[in-house]
Structure 1
Amino acid sequence: MVVDQKHTVVVVMIPLPLQGHLNQLLHLSRLISGHNVPVHFACTTAHGRQVKMRLQGWNPNKIATIFFHDLPIPPFICPPPTPNSTTNFPSHLQPLCEAATHLRRPITSLLRKLSPSTRRLVVIHDSLMSSVVQDFVSLPNAESYTFHSVSAFSIALFTSKKVGEQIRKLIGPQTKEDLSFDGCFTPEFKKFIAVQHEYAKLSSGRIYNTCRIIEQPILELLETEARSANKLLWALGPFNPLELKRSLLQLFDRIYSTIVEQCLNWLDKQASKSVIFVSFGTTTSFSQQQITEIATGLENSGHKFVWVVREADRGDIFRDDIIHVKLPEGYENRVKDQGLVVREWAPQLDILGHPSVGGFMSHCGWNSCIESVSMGVPIAAWPVHSDQPNNAVLITKILKIGFLVKEWCRKEEVVVSSAVENAVRRLMGLTEGEEVRRRAAALGHRVRKSALDGGASQTEFGSFIDHITR
Structure 2
Amino acid sequence: MENHATFNVLMLPWLAHGHVSPYLELAMKLTARNFNVYLCSSPATLSSVRSKLTEKFSQSIHLVELHLPKLPELPAEYHTTNGLPPHLMPTLKDAFDMAKPNFCNVLKSLKPDLLIYDLLQPWAPEAASAFNIPAVVFISSSATMTSFGLHFFKNPGTKYPYGNTIFYRDYESVFVENLKKRDRDTYRVVNCMERSSKIILIKGFKEIEGKYFDYFSCLTGKKVVPVGPLVQDPVLDDEDCRIMQWLNKKEKGSTVFVSFGSEYFLSKEDMEEIAHGLELSNVDFIWVVRFPKGENIVIEETLPKGFFERVGERGLVVNGWAPQAKILTHPNVGGFVSHCGWNSVMESMKFGLPIVAMPMHLDQPINARLIEEVGAGVEVLRDSKGKLHRERMAETINKVTKEASGEPARKKARELQEKLELKGDEEIDDVVKELVQLCATKNKRNGLHCYN
Question: Normalization by structure 2: what TM-score?
Answer: 0.84
Structure 2 counterpart of 1:339: 315
User: How has the CA–CA distance of structure 1 residues 262 and 423 changed in structure 2, closer, same or farther, with 3 Å as cutoff?
Assistant: same
Q: Are residues 1:284 and 2:264 paired?
A: yes
Structure 2 counterpart of 1:96: 92
User: How has the CA–CA distance of structure 1 residues 185 and 13 changed in structure 2, closer, same or farther, with 3 Å as cutoff?
Assistant: farther
SS of the residue aligned with 1:128?
A: coil
| Cα distance in 1, alignment partners of residues 431 and 281 from structure 2 | 43
CA drift of 1:217 comes to 1.7
Contact 1:11 1:122 in 2 (8 A): yes
Q: What's the CA shift string for 1:327-354, capped at 9, x where partnerless?
A: 2344334424101111011222222222
Q: What's the CA shift string for 1:293-317, capped at 9, x where partnerless?
A: 21121112111111011125x5xxx
Structure 2 counterpart of 1:270: 250
Residue ranges of structure 1 left out of the alignment (5+ in a row): 82-88, 251-256, 315-319
1:195 to 174, 188, 191: 188
User: How has the CA–CA distance of structure 1 residues 262 and 158 changed in structure 2, closer, same or farther, with 3 Å as cutoff?
Assistant: same
Structure 2 counterpart of 1:216: 210
User: How has the CA–CA distance of structure 1 residues 406 and 74 changed in structure 2, closer, same or farther, with 3 Å as cutoff?
Assistant: farther
SS of the residue aligned with 2:253?
A: coil
CA drift of 1:448 comes to 2.5
2:103 to 98, 103, 107: 107
Q: Are residues 1:182 and 2:155 paired?
A: no
Structure 2 counterpart of 1:460: 430
SS of the residue aligned with 1:6?
A: coil
Q: Are residues 1:376 and 2:352 paired?
A: yes
User: How has the CA–CA distance of structure 1 residues 293 and 159 changed in structure 2, closer, same or farther, with 3 Å as cutoff?
Assistant: same
Residue identity (%): 26
User: How has the CA–CA distance of structure 1 residues 410 and 426 changed in structure 2, closer, same or farther, with 3 Å as cutoff?
Assistant: farther
| Cα distance in 1, alignment partners of residues 38 and 414 from structure 2 | 35
Residue ranges of structure 2 left out of the alignment (5+ in a row): 79-84, 441-452
Q: What's the CA shift string for 1:86-118, capped at 9, x where partnerless?
A: xxx945433223322222122111111122xx6
Structure 1 counterpart of 2:16: 18
SS of the residue aligned with 2:270?
A: helix
| Cα distance in 2, alignment partners of residues 178 and 164 from structure 1 | 19
Q: Are residues 1:327 and 2:300 paired?
A: no
More off after superposition, 192-201 vs 21-30: 192-201
SS of the residue aligned with 1:371?
A: helix
Contact 1:91 1:186 in 2 (8 A): no
| Cα distance in 1, alignment partners of residues 156 and 344 from structure 2 | 23
CA drift of 1:189 comes to 11
Q: Are residues 1:403 and 2:378 paired?
A: yes
More off after superposition, 262-271 vs 160-169: 160-169
| Cα distance in 2, alignment partners of residues 390 and 180 from structure 1 | 13
In the alignment, residue 463 of structure 1 is paired with which amino acid?
K
In the alignment, residue 358 of structure 1 is paired with which amino acid?
G
User: How has the CA–CA distance of structure 1 residues 462 and 165 changed in structure 2, closer, same or farther, with 3 Å as cutoff?
Assistant: farther
CA drift of 1:124 comes to 0.7
Give the length in aligned residue pairs: 424
User: Residues 125-274 of structure 1: matches in 2 within 5 Å?
Assistant: 125-140=117-132, 142-161=133-152, 168-169=160-161, 171=162, 173=164, 178=169, 182-184=173-175, 191-204=184-197, 205-226=199-220, 229=221, 231-241=222-232, 243-244=233-234, 248-249=235-236, 258=239, 260-274=240-254
In the alignment, residue 375 of structure 2 is paired with which amino acid?
K
Structure 1 counterpart of 2:422: 449
Structure 2 counterpart of 1:254: none
1:308 to 281, 288, 307: 288
Contact 1:60 1:66 in 2 (8 A): no
SS of the residue aligned with 2:115?
A: strand
User: How has the CA–CA distance of structure 1 residues 286 and 92 changed in structure 2, closer, same or farther, with 3 Å as cutoff?
Assistant: farther
In the alignment, residue 439 of structure 1 is paired with which amino acid?
K
Q: What's the CA shift string for 1:368-416, capped at 9, x where partnerless?
A: 11111111111111111111111111111x21111111359643x2x12
| Cα distance in 2, alignment partners of residues 185 and 112 from structure 1 | 40
In the alignment, residue 434 of structure 2 is paired with which amino acid?
F
Contact 2:69 2:99 in 1 (8 A): no
Contact 1:13 1:123 in 2 (8 A): yes
User: How has the CA–CA distance of structure 1 residues 212 and 298 changed in structure 2, closer, same or farther, with 3 Å as cutoff?
Assistant: same
Question: Normalization by structure 1: what TM-score?
Answer: 0.81
SS of the residue aligned with 1:184?
A: helix
Structure 2 counterpart of 1:440: 413
User: How has the CA–CA distance of structure 1 residues 177 and 362 changed in structure 2, closer, same or farther, with 3 Å as cutoff?
Assistant: closer
Contact 1:211 1:238 in 2 (8 A): yes
CA drift of 1:469 comes to 4.8
| Cα distance in 2, alignment partners of residues 355 and 437 from structure 1 | 14
In the alignment, residue 391 of structure 2 is paired with which amino acid?
S
| Cα distance in 1, alignment partners of residues 333 and 158 from structure 2 | 36
Contact 2:355 2:376 in 1 (8 A): yes
In the alignment, residue 40 of structure 1 is paired with which amino acid?
Y
In the alignment, residue 212 of structure 1 is paired with which amino acid?
K
SS of the residue aligned with 1:38?
A: strand
User: Residues 61-100 of structure 1: matches in 2 within 5 Å?
Assistant: 62-76=57-71, 77=73, 90-100=86-96
| Cα distance in 2, alignment partners of residues 282 and 355 from structure 1 | 24
In the alignment, residue 311 of structure 1 is paired with which amino acid?
F
| Cα distance in 2, alignment partners of residues 217 and 166 from structure 1 | 18
